[in-house]
């Protein structure tokens, strides 16, 4: 019962439609990727490393439509945002608020945003954040044994360890 | 199955629904749960599970029975979600990305499943069931050894400490309930996840429309009688493959919707029960291997999950242990599938006997008429 096996010829118009649909499919996926990409912003109100740009004594920062955050000099806070493009409203003391547009690097999950540099228009005010000593993620031994391949899930025998040092009397 | 509807016949045809209603009603009181809580749980679970159950309809129309192979689609959906979490794509965009990234894989899986089932005509359900076990092994190999090794994974939070393979449980916080909360309607004490409902309504409309198309009609013809459909020029194998591909793709989307509601994912086990609960739900709703409708889906989801909501508490109150209620869930789920299949086989045999008797009676009457 193989049914009717017709060799259907695909015309150029149909090929064009199919190609167009494939392009739309990929475009929607790329759009979802770019617009949905989450970033963590560490907002910094600190002096620049060379000391040329000073931190603000009191500054209020609002990212997009999130709640405003108050910073004193030397403060750092963090917030999570979605997509690359953001509007940052900065209010220094009693001055008029300043609105700045910021574009985050697409591939960076965590970035450091320096408010003093942004206000002074000194590049780069957004830099990738590299933790000095990132702790390793908590160990998960679930892939180290054969529990996924064996119904009994027996663990591999533990490696022999060095004998504990003999207790010494104080 | 024509003829007068007697009380006995009504009971026979709706035995599963009636048993479920009785058990659920009996368990509500000892569970001690308020009606508001139960209704809210059912509203949430309707949004969470209906899409997966709807994925079973089209193969039933095509005469392929209950598609236990939908697990393949669920696996594809999970792989899509792993990539969405890896790239840190949040919210509804993360779900959209997961669906779009996994859909080609779901189509491929559906095609493979369809080809295999075409070689096992008449034994589609058990073949699909075993195929899901087989593909589970390939899925585990892919996720446990390939991701992070051959396929780069940049998010250390999801990769095992050895550097490759995905962790046992994934936190889906960045997409958690993003579809449900996108448009949440509050009516009195109830919260309705309208966006999830909208997606389900769109799928229902698609199924209604699809049944009226040429392909839909072909599927019904194939489901009715493959030999006749083949004689009338319908490409039977191709039609059956398309039915399974559509079901697998829906299962893929359904699993993404299900997991976003749950908020976490058991990487190596979330898909294993997908087909089981979906099949149990549609059977509880009154569907059979050969016949199912949209109403069966929603009645089934409500009844099965009403039981799932009340039994742990009822088990705790009656027996002093919540685990009894948990065991009861499993027992009921498998029991329903077994009972429905047995009832279906029994009804089919009765129907065949009735038709044979009708033929004999007709022959005897003709013979008597000829003698006169």
pLDDT digits (tens, 9 = 90+) for B208-218: 999 999 999 99
Residue ranges covered by each domain of chain B:
1-31+273-348, 55-271
Whole-angstrom CA distances from A119 to A88, A123, B6 are 11, 10, 83
Cα A42 to Cα A76, A110, B65, B310: the distances in Å are 7, 7, 55, 46
pLDDT digits (tens, 9 = 90+) for A97-136: 999 999 999 988 899 999 999 998 888 889 998 877 655 5
Contact B236/A at CB under 8 A: yes
A143 closest CB neighbour out of B165, B174, B226: B165
pLDDT band per the 50, 70, 90 thresholds, residue A168: very low
Residue A62 DSSP SS3: strand
In a domain, A99, yes or no: yes
B298–chain A nearest CA distance, Å: 31
Residue A145's alpha-carbon distances to A168, B165, B197, in angstroms, are 37, 12, 42
Nearest Cβ partner for A144 among B91, B162, B174: B162
What is the tens place of the pLDDT at every residue in B36-54?
Answer: 999 999 999 999 999 999 9
ipTM for the complex? Answer: 0.85
pLDDT tens column, B255-309: 999 999 999 999 999 999 899 889 989 988 988 888 999 999 999 999 989 988 9
Stretch B144-161: mean pLDDT: 92
| Total count of residues recorded for chain B | 372
| CA triple B150-B96-B145, angle to 5 deg | 20
What is the domain count for chain A?
1
Neighbours of A24 (CB within 10 A): 10
Given CA atoms B208, B213, B215, B221 in this order, what sign does their dihedral have? positive
Instruction: Answer yes or no: is A102 within a domain.
Output: yes
Whichever domain contains A67, its CATH number is 2.60.40
In a domain, A165, yes or no: no
Q: Report the candidate in B67, B88, B235 with the shortest Cα–Cα distance to residue B175.
A: B88
- Separation of alpha carbons B91 and A33, rounded Å: 11
- Contacting residues of A for B239, CB less than 8 Å apart: 3
Q: Which residues of chain B have a CB within 8 Å of the CB of A138?
A: 161
CB distance B68 to B129 below 8 Å: yes
| pLDDT tens-digit readout, B103-127 | 999 999 999 999 999 999 999 999 9
Residues of B in Cβ contact (< 8 Å) with A36? 89-94, 96-97
Q: Express each pLDDT in B57-93 by its tens digit.
A: 999 999 999 999 999 999 999 999 999 999 999 999 9
**Mean pLDDT value across chain A:** 79
Does residue A20 sit within a domain? Answer: no
Residue A106 lies in a domain: yes
Backbone angles phi, psi at B365, to 5 degrees: -65, -40
Q: How many CB pairs lie under 8 A apart between chains A and B?
A: 88
Q: What is the pLDDT of residues A29-69, one digit of tens each?
A: 999 999 999 999 999 998 888 888 888 999 999 999 899 99
* Interface contact A3-B234, CB threshold 8 A: yes
Chain B residues within 8 A of A129 when measuring between CB atoms: none
Inspect the interface and report whether the beta carbons of A38 and B174 lie closer than 8 Å.
Answer: yes
A136 min Cα distance to partner chain B (Å): 8
Which structural domain, as residue segments, surrounds residue A59? 38-128
Gap between the Cα atoms of B245 and B223, Å rounded: 16
């Amino acid at each position: 019962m193989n049914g009717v096996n017709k060799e259907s010829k695909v015309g150029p118009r149909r090929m064009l439609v199919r190609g167009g649909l494939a392009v739309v499919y990929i475009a929607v996926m790329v759009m979802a990727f770019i617009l949905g990409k989450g970033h963590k912003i560490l907002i910094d109100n600190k002096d620049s490393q060379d000391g040329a740009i000073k931190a603000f004594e009191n500054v209020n920062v609002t990212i997009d439509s999130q709640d405003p955050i108050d910073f004193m000099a030397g403060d750092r806070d963090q917030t999570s945002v979605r997509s690359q493009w953001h509007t940052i409203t900065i209010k220094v003391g009693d001055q008029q608020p300043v609105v700045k547009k910021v574009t985050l690097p697409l591939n960076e999950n965590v970035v450091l945003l320096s408010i003093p540099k942004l206000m002074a228009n000194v590049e780069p005010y957004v830099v990738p954040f590299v933790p000095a000593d990132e702790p390793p993620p908590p160990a998960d031994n679930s892939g180290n044994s054969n529990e996924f391949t064996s119904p009994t899930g027996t663990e591999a025998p533990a490696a022999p360890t060095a004998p504990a040092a003999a207790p010494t009397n104080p | 199955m024509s003829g007068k509807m007697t009380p006995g016949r009504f009971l026979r045809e709706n035995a599963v629904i009636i048993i479920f209603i009785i058990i659920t009603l009996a368990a509500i009181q000892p569970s001690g749960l308020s009606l508001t809580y139960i209704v809210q749980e059912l509203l949430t679970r309707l949004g969470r599970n209906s899409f997966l159950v709807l994925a079973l309809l089209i193969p039933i129309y095509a005469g392929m029975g209950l598609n236990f192979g939908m697990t393949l689609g669920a696996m594809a959906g999970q792989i899509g979600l792993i990539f969405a979490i890896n790239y840190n794509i949040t919210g509804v965009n993360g779900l959209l990305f997961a669906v779009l990234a996994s859909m080609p894989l779901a189509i491929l899986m559906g095609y493979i499943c369809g080809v295999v089932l075409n070689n096992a005509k008449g034994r589609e359900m058990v073949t699909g069931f075993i195929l899901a076990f087989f593909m589970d092994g390939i899925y585990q190999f892919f996720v446990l050894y390939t991701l992070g090794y051959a396929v780069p994974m940049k998010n250390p939070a999801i990769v095992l400490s050895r550097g490759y393979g995905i962790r046992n449980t994934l936190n889906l916080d960045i997409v958690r309930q993003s579809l449900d909360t996108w448009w949440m309607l509050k009516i009195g004490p109830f919260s309705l996840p309208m966006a999830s409902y909208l997606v389900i309504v769109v799928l229902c409309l698609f199924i209604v429309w699809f049944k009226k198309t040429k392909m839909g009609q072909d599927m019904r013809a194939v489901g009715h009688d493959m030999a006749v459909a083949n004689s009338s020029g319908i490409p039977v194998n191709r039609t059956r493959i398309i039915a399974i591909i559509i079901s697998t793709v829906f299962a893929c989307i359904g699993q993404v919707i299900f997991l976003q509601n749950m908020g976490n994912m058991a990487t190596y086990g979330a898909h294993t029960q997908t087909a089981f609960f979906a099949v149990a739900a549609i059977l509880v709703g009154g569907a059979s291997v050969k016949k199912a409708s949209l109403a069966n889906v929603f009645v089934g989801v409500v009844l099965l999950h009403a039981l799932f909501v009340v039994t742990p508490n009822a088990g705790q109150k009656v027996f002093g242990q919540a685990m009894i209620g948990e065991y009861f869930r499993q027992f009921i789920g498998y029991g329903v599938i077994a009972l429905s299949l047995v009832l279906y086989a029994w009804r089919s045999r009765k129907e065949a006997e009735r038709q044979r008797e009708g033929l004999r009676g007709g022959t005897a009457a003709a013979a008597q008429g000829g003698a006169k």
